[in-house]
Amino acid sequence: MYKPYLHRVQYYETDRMGVTHHSNYLRFMEEARVDFLEQIGYGYQRMEKEGLVSPVVSVNLQFKKPTTFYDQLLIDVEVKDVSVVKLEIAYTITCNGEVVCTATSVHCFVDEEGRPISLKRKNVELYNLLLSLCEKNR
């Protein structure tokens, strides 16, 4: 249905040892999540235009293998769980066919003033779309 996000590690994303700095994986995840939402027709610009904001509540990363400058990372994104107030995204990051990192991010739904809202009430179309993509429902 959608294509994995491709990121090539840049020199400035590595540390003194030549390894991709762990903090960059959060940025890679965000890039992949934004791309995923665009691919399913519900990018951040559309969400925000419709008065919906989805901040990060928590993240969890497990590093399996290091990556270095110019490595090509493929980031698969999938909806792990969705409820009326929360969205959990799972990420699998691979390099040369090997898993280098797995991760999840949890997001809540708030209005433009930062007040929690029910996604099902605020935007049933997006809620149903995410529900249809949820791994638990497949």
Active-site residues, by number, are 15
Element (H, E) at 87: strand 86-95
Task: Kindly report each contact of residues 25-29 with a partner whose C-beta sits within 8 Å and lies 24 or more positions away, as own/partner.
Answer: 25/61, 25/63, 25/93, 25/101, 25/103, 26/59, 26/61, 28/73, 28/75, 28/93, 29/59, 29/75, 29/89, 29/91, 29/103, 29/105
Q: Is the dihedral of CA 34, 104, 24, 97 positive or negative?
A: negative
* Contact between residue 106 and residue 56 where contact means Cβ atoms under 8 Å apart: yes
